[in-house]
Structure 1
Amino acid sequence: MEYERPTLTLEMGCLRLQGAWTLTHYSQLKRNFNAVEAAVDRLEASQLTALDTAGAALLVELLGANVLCQLLPSATGLSAERRALLLAVAEVVEAQGPAVAVTTHWTDSLAKLGEKVLSGWQQFVLLLGFMGLTLSTLMRTVLIPRRWRITALVAQMQQCGLNAVPIVALLTFLVGAVVAFLGATVLVNFGATLYTVDLVAYSFLREFGVLLTAILLAGRTASAFTAQLGSMKVNEELDALRIQGLDPIALLVLPRLLALVITLPLLAFIAVLSGLAGGAMVSLLSLDISLTQYMSIVQQIPLRHLWVGLGKAPIFALLIALIGCLEGFKVSGSAQSVGQHTTSSVVQSIFVVILLDAIAALFLMEMGW
């Protein structure tokens, strides 16, 4: 109907609203009306047939929140409900402040980079604080045997360690076969296919065994820790524990931390054996290297390379467990927050594992170890 068509007229300082200022006519209102430049002294809305938040927001945009708030007390033809709606929308818009124009200047990119760096530093400091809190709680708990959570520790060891054996063994077996294939492809040009065994052995003893295991557990176990603790926080179970006088760090974090520290070196050793088995299969089937010859070459490799690889496992386990638990405690109160922090824990854990492994490799290379 013509009467329903929204209109806006300004005569002698009096602003008249007509028709339905609703979401249905929002596109028409947005297209036809511009911000009111002239001074407005009165607001008359006796012929206003409908008003919702979309129309109220547009009216605030046309007049400005301050001007509308000044006109509302003396406005005519407005019911109490519409007056309250306009006032509420104006107050919200005014509280939000003016919109910031989006620019693509290089300084904006630099500012965003600074924010990312600051956020990363804050996360690092938070992780250090959480590590100190956890280790101090561990020292206090070790001295009191009645506070040891043996059942929880064994359950977490089964979940983190025993249940992860198949996927760790299978993945490292396949990676060992792939490394042997690639090494043989390159070394055959030099008539040195026999050194494929050394390539597989050194890579898995020092790097691939522990690194692949840590990455797998970062994706498998860190995410599980975050999801479990995050769900408990959403359901207010952590608050219930604190009310009962129980420490969530000692009750929930320590069993997960100790379980991962114990099981990750064992899984890394299984990964080394599986990777060597994959290389042995390729050597036996494709390179005409017998199993006896393969084992004799592996036995000639100094055992210190195995200790170098396994020595990194407890450090990786400590960081993976701390990051997973910390992100779980940072969950706010929704399922979306649980998903976001679970993703964040996996990304942070994998990044930290690879970064520390690279630093350790450079350090050990310089030290000649």
Structure 2
Amino acid sequence: MLSPKGVGCAAPFAVVVSTGARILNSPVSAVTPQSVSVRMQTLPPAFAPWAEGWFNPPRPQAAAAQPPPLLVRRRLHSLLDGAREGLVWVSGPSGAGKTSLMRTWTDARRAAGTPCLWIQLDATDAEPAVFFRHLRLALLSTLATPQARNALRLPAWREAADAARLSAFAQRYFRAWTAALPKPLILVFDACEAAGADAALPLLLDQLLQALPAGALMLAAGTDPLPLTLHRWAASGRCLTLGWEDLRADDDEARELALAWGQPQPEAAQCALAGGWMAAWAVLLSAARCGEAAPAADRIFEACAGAAYSGLDPLTRRVLAAVARQPTASAEEAAVLSDVANAGDVLAALWRLRWFVERQISFDGQVRYALHPLLRAHAAARQMP
């Protein structure tokens, strides 16, 4: 197949670009090959000479230190295989398996001959100027020769003028950017929540989707559900959404995961405790692999999402600690238990985010909320702030 600008390549490529705030806030001219961390997978031979100066592949580790292979989740791969173009939005809490799912699926697509460009977002991408610079670096990483890189011409961002007309600038930029991409292509944006829920990212992704050529697919993942700006893609049938309910590992996948880790088949109690959370399974199986006893439930949650829990506001933690005392609670019961008048709104918001809170509707129409077993143990083990 051919790489961009007609450079011959013996194999499809995948590029992972990760840039830090210190670099992205510098002038473009100050960005050097040494200042960008890029991981190449299945690097084409034509890229090899340039790769020595630009790419920074991970150092090989001893076989004993290598983690078990990622689980190929055939159930979810079959859903992704049906998405040929447009948008796939994968959302779920931290540790739900979003990144590993996208990694295994894009590996399979790349092996089948489809190039993949992976862009890891961070907080700096909340600024449109930084996001465009990030895309420029990603595109440069796909161009195999100095001549191709020097010939790249993208619209230059002018802070005051272009910020006032962001949509118009984005259209011009994305037309030029997509024209230089390989076709077909899978374009991955991971950690979309890092750019901020109220940032311009959804608008920019919408504009980029409009500019992508036929046959190109955008795969985006984050902790937040599909933004309203992108709902029209779902309404037109060009968006596949995978959420927490889809990502939760079923019993068959739990058994496959245990087998990959070289561990006995999990017991029903372990499956109930993990609740389909891939990060929890990693903690449980890692302990078993090291010959250690299974950690307590609250310690498992602490290891997987303790920082996220600590980052919740005090009233939210108060509501969770109160609701954790019983299997389920209605909005009214949560308000009484926590002494927080809007406790029902707090639980509803967490449920909409699928943040380890489930909603149950009884036969008489009453709405009740239940916490994930690990969150319940973690919240109950802590006093209300």
Q: TM-score range by the shorter chain?
A: under 0.3
TM-score by length of 2: 0.18
Q: In terms of Rg, which structure is larger?
A: 1
**Going by fraction, where is helix more abundant, 1 or 2?**
1
The structure with the largest strand share of the pair is 2
